[in-house]
Amino acid sequence: MSRKLLGLLVFSGTLLALSACYESADVTVHKPGVYKGARDPLVVKLRAPEMQQKLRERFALIQSR
């Protein structure tokens, strides 16, 4: 193998290895307590007064242990 061809193969191999390790630098910042997804029917259900009362009772029961 000629020296030029060997250098080209080494360069190509290095370039391929480095490109395989590429990771996008896009970062998504989320705010705590803010749901950004599609509408969630459970959220509506949890806001109902009877469900809020059940959750308060369950919380009080757990906290009293």
Residues 20, 14: Cα–Cα separation, whole Å: 10
CA-nearest of 40, 43, 63 to 52 is 43
Query: DSSP assignment, residue 35?
Result: -
Q: Which two tokens stand for residue 16?
A: 């391929």
Residue 1 has pLDDT above 70, yes or no: no
Chain-centre distance for alpha carbon 1: 48
Task: Mention every residue, 6+ apart, whose C-beta is less than 8 A from residue 51.
Answer: 45
- Is this prediction's pTM over 0.95? no
> What is the per-residue pLDDT across 5-57, written as a single tens digit (0 to 9) for each?
899 999 988 888 877 666 777 887 888 887 777 787 888 888 899 999 998 99
